Amino acid sequence: MENQLNYNIMPSLKHMAFRTITASMWNQKDIKQLAADFCFQSINGNRKNQLWHTVVEERVKQNVHKLFMPESLISELIKLVKPIGLDISKWIKFHERFLDDSQFVLLILDKLSWTSLGTVNYKKTAEFIVRDEQLDLVKRYKLACVYCLHSDIPALWKKLSRNDKRNFYCKDNPSKLIQHELVLLWTYLIKGEANKLNRRINLLLEDCSFNQYAFKYAAHSGNKVATEHFFQKLTTKEREECLVETTQCVAKTRCDLEYGCSHDFPKECYCDVLAYLLLQCNEADQVKVFQKYPYRVLKCFISWPWQDLFIQIAERMWAFLPEFDYNTLLRILTENINIFGYNYHKIIRKFWLQSPISFKEYVINRQCNSAGYLSTLFKEEDQESIKFFLRNVTTVDRERMISSHSGLHICHNLIIMNRWDLLEMFVQESMLSEEAVTKVQVAFQRYLSRIYNENQLQLKKQKWDRFYVLLHGGNIELAMQGNTTSEEPVRLSQSPVIITIVDLDLSENEESEKPSKKKRKRIKRNHKKK
């Protein structure tokens, strides 16, 4: 195995500056007010997310464009608006659930602190909130416990009223308390009664010490601050007993659970935990984690801002990663370009070029046999990745893909959607030979005959003819002149090139010139429908 990875990301000074500036744009008064209004919207989650993207993010982008900076730098800042905004949104949602109070979250928005990576610094932000005497005492106590602010917890406990303390402490029966686990652990710890939780701990995790339980709970819920705190409390023996298992569990939990319980941190926070735990593992233990969950570990490191480590980790995974999961990761990387706004193209290129030949063959074969990676690229309209992909496969594979059922399906969809720009690029980048052009045309005619009747084919004949012009290297602009919205068929003689319409029965005897009984029945049914 190569030299051990350093899981502490250190961005360049330039990128640190970009992230600091973009974070400051999110911290402006008008944006915080807009975010606060957003917090109080009583609408469903999907609609709320959409509003966040279309209203709050767009306002930040408008403010960025007002900066007196070169356009090239403005462009770099714009790329960071979405991922930083998503991080804020997730911080807000977590604290709304945990504190069960949207209004309180509004009051603490101006306390947000940032890491050098451009992410919300959960611990530093909590410190600012907990030490603000003007804010609600009970909520400050809960936050201090969750973020392990051990120097603040005892003082805050003393200030709590007797009634408030009853919510966190029961002398005789701790199990009847309904409270966040870390709040309970810290409450009994500062009172010197941690042993009263032994029965509760043993019911959940057998043969587990107090600190091991707290460490595992923190890691499993995505709380990096508490994970780090309690890991430092473990003995060497305790670390050896639970480090690898906990690291594997974090990778699994991050990828398998779409929605955790209300006390779980945002799923992106699990990558922070995973990176910290991998840093504590020796090389042999890292291999154990990679062997068990290669796909899940890599999927974690797709998340912003950890994507810069993705390729380095992938280099250690080729011996463990199944080809199917490689194909899935390519798709996720491509989809994330639109979801998170981060430029993943560089990562995708490296991931493809560094992969074993067998992985590339699997992706190509999957595309030919069913909708695969190339179909995803066209769905996302990622022209840059489409060109890269087609230029980095063989001529034979390009021809196989465009003439396959999924390739013809792509062509058909682009025609129906009038995306002639994408279709022209697909044909040009496929660099088809004359023989391949004929093969694609024959295959496309067969494809159409399976999904349309004769009348439907005739109605859209103008579109099919344009595609054939394109296939034969004709001028698509000339072919599209005239009434482009009309569905009336256009004679091929109007095209700038001569196209031979290939009969469907020339290459294979699938259908004779004389319609079969089955086909004649279908034609009769269609006439009756008319």
Structure tokens at 406: 């999924």
Answering whether pTM is above 0.75, one says yes
Find where tokens 């107090």 sit. 210
pLDDT at site 446: 94
Span 119-136, pLDDT tens digits: 999 999 999 999 999 999
Query: Is the pLDDT higher at 467 or at 105?
Result: 467
For the chain, what percent of residues have pLDDT higher than 70? 84
Q: How far is CA 123 from CA 83, 147, 155, in A?
A: 20, 6, 18
Position 344 pLDDT exceeds 80: yes
Sign of CA dihedral 188, 189, 194, 199: positive
Those residues whose C-beta lies under 8 Å from the C-beta of residue 57, and which sit 6 or more positions away, are 81, 82, 85
For the chain, what percent of residues have pLDDT higher than 90? 57
Averaged pLDDT, 207-232:
94
DSSP letter for each residue of 11-65: --HHHHHHHHHHHHHHTSHHHHHHHHHHHT--S-HHHHHHHIIIIIIHHHHHHHH
pLDDT at site 520: 43
DSSP 166: H
pLDDT at site 102: 76
Helix (H, G, I), strand (E, B) or coil at 213: helix
Helix H, strand E, coil C: the string for 366-432 is HHHHCCCHHHHHHHCCCHHHHHHHHHCCCHHHHHHHHHCHHHHHHHHHHHHCCCHHHHHHHHHHHCC
Structure tokens at 51: 């509003």
pLDDT at site 6: 75
Averaged pLDDT, 329-340:
84
Span 430-481, pLDDT tens digits: 999 999 999 999 999 999 999 999 999 999 999 999 999 999 986 555 555 5
pLDDT at site 335: 86
Position 244 pLDDT exceeds 80: yes
Q: How confident is the model at residue 160 (pLDDT cuts 50, 70, 90)?
A: very high
Averaged pLDDT, 66-75:
91
pLDDT at site 40: 52
Helix (H, G, I), strand (E, B) or coil at 120: strand
pLDDT at site 253: 87
Position 186 pLDDT exceeds 80: yes
Q: Rounded to 10 degrees, what is the CA torsion of 156, 159, 160, 161?
A: 180
Position 50 pLDDT exceeds 80: no
Q: Which of 135-144, 355-364, 496-505 has the lowest mean pLDDT?
A: 496-505
Q: Rounded to 10 degrees, what is the CA torsion of 310, 316, 321, 326?
A: 40
Position 180 pLDDT exceeds 80: yes
* Mean pLDDT taken over the chain: 84
